[in-house]
Amino acid sequence: MKLQQQESAVEQQQGGEEKLPENLLLYFEQILHDDPLIDEVGFLHPTQFCSLDCARDGDSASQSTEFHCARYFWCRDHKLAISAEILPELYHAARDAYYNARDAPLSRTNLMRHTKALLILCPDLLTAWNSRKMVLSALYDFTKLKDELQLCALILSYSPKNESTWSHRRWVIKQVAEQHQDMLELIGNESILVKEIAEKSKMNYRAWRHRCWLIPYMTRKQVLDELNESTRWSELHVADNCCFHYRRSLLLALLDNFFGNEEDSLSWESDICLLWKEELRWDEMLIKRYQGRESLWNHRRFLSHLWIQHLLTVEGNWPATTSQMDMFVIQEIQLLSECLHDPVDEFEESRVQAELSALYIMWITKAISSWFYPASCLSQVPDVKGKLEERLHFASMGRLKDVLAGACRPEKRFWMNLLNLADQSSDVQ
């Protein structure tokens, strides 16, 4: 009799262990249901749970399902911790539950519940994301779409470069925009989210690409506000080309807004010109402050490209006007001269700065010869190129020749023909 009781106890214990993953899944889904504002998830080693005041191990024969659940999960103040010990079993239980719910008829509630748990554990499952899209597409519900944005933000808190999550988030925003909802608050929240993620995850081009994707949904005021607000962040992250690419996208959006809007076009054109001048001045200030940052010179190329096109157009229509193009050339040559004569430092930043400035001037010279201009500007292109080359010969040509010879790869040194340096540089090679 005693032996039979022991065997029965062993069978019950084994049966409980077999059902443990399923019970944990139910408990996990209940946590997500009870606290929909969870904004952070962490996957911790079992020993780390001691610091979270979790239950300690006891006699395995007397452990209940609730004890097991408390041993593997911790949730407080909208923060959720999951023990890495149970992750494989929990994932397989969530995956099996999702497949069963997907194949069952009329199981939308279960499908959404299981896919939420599954995607938190493995956000790369496109099939699960597509199942959620199918349910959400059946009937437009703004509240449920906001919950979907909350789920995406939760996943991005620990997986900020997950492309599947960013793609799903854009799908949700597009659904809201198609229903002509007020996008002002939503776009503002998205911008804040990307900024926070960019602070935690450096060089996160997926997050910045998402921010660029939002620009067409912004009003003119929002674009200007974004440009102003990103200034300080860019100054603190001058090596991150993503933030400067975002600024370029904002500037292009303002230009598109100008060309697409004929209302108050004169005042808007004046504002754009002032904005462009300020951006050039700001970029020059950063170049002088932070030596050898290629992202700043790339940003200047973009600004110079469009600014030269604008100046050529203006002076082509009003040739009697004082030549702003000549002033711009003088300004760029002065910047080159300063960069070429920066004092040498132990980190060789001044050398990199000199090379970047020399390559920038070479790029301008080549670009002026090859850019596409309106017919009214074509006659001015040779004159501008000639003035640039003439002024370059007064800006330490020997130093410029040495820098270019060292900066250009052998197969690229033919570019120096643009500055009439090829014959002079042969002795340096």
pTM (2 decimals)? 0.81
Per-residue model confidence as pLDDT tens digits over 106-150: 678 899 999 999 999 999 999 999 999 999 999 899 999 999 999
Question: Nearest-CA neighbor of 123 among 93, 147, 157?
Answer: 157
Query: What region, left, alpha or beta, does residue 57 occupy, with left being phi > 0 and alpha being psi -120 to 50 degrees?
Result: beta
Q: Residue for token digits 């991005």?
A: 156
Predicted confidence band of residue 7 (pLDDT cuts 50, 70, 90): very low
Asked if 68 contacts 52 with a C-beta cutoff of 8 angstroms, the reply is no
Q: Give the ranges where 341-418 is alpha helix by DSSP (H).
A: 349-370, 381-392, 397-407
Predicted confidence band of residue 17 (pLDDT cuts 50, 70, 90): very low
Residues paired with 81 in a beta bridge = 42, 74
Task: Decide if pLDDT at 247 tops 50.
Answer: yes
Per-residue model confidence as pLDDT tens digits over 171-187: 999 999 988 777 888 99
Residue 396: the pLDDT is 56
Residue count of the chain, please give it. 429
Asked if 82 contacts 41 with a C-beta cutoff of 8 angstroms, the reply is yes
Cα–Cα distance for residue pair 380/388, rounded to 1 Å: 12
Mean pLDDT, residues 90-111 taken together:
88
Residue 400: the pLDDT is 67
The mean-pLDDT minimum among 55-64, 179-188, 232-241, 380-389 falls in: 55-64
Looking only at Cα atoms, what is the longest distance across the chain?
Answer: 114
Mean pLDDT, residues 61-69 taken together:
45
- Cβ atoms within 10 Å of 269's Cβ, excluding its own: 13
Residues paired with 40 in a beta bridge = 79
Give the number of C-alpha atoms closer than 13 A to the C-alpha of residue 3, restricted to the C-beta side. 0
Asked if 258 contacts 268 with a C-beta cutoff of 8 angstroms, the reply is yes
Q: Give the ranges where 179-293 is alpha helix by DSSP (H).
A: 184-200, 205-213, 220-236, 241-260, 265-289
Domain boundaries, the chain: 1-181
Average pLDDT, the chain: 80
Predicted confidence band of residue 67 (pLDDT cuts 50, 70, 90): very low
Residue 371: the pLDDT is 58
Per-residue model confidence as pLDDT tens digits over 187-212: 989 999 998 998 888 888 999 999 99
* The two three-digit tokens of residue 422, written as one number: 């090829």
The mean-pLDDT minimum among 8-17, 171-180, 293-302, 375-384 falls in: 8-17
DSSP string for residues in 67-81: HHHHHHEEEETTEEE
* The two three-digit tokens of residue 343, written as one number: 């004092």
Asked if 2 contacts 91 with a C-beta cutoff of 8 angstroms, the reply is no
Predicted confidence band of residue 261 (pLDDT cuts 50, 70, 90): low
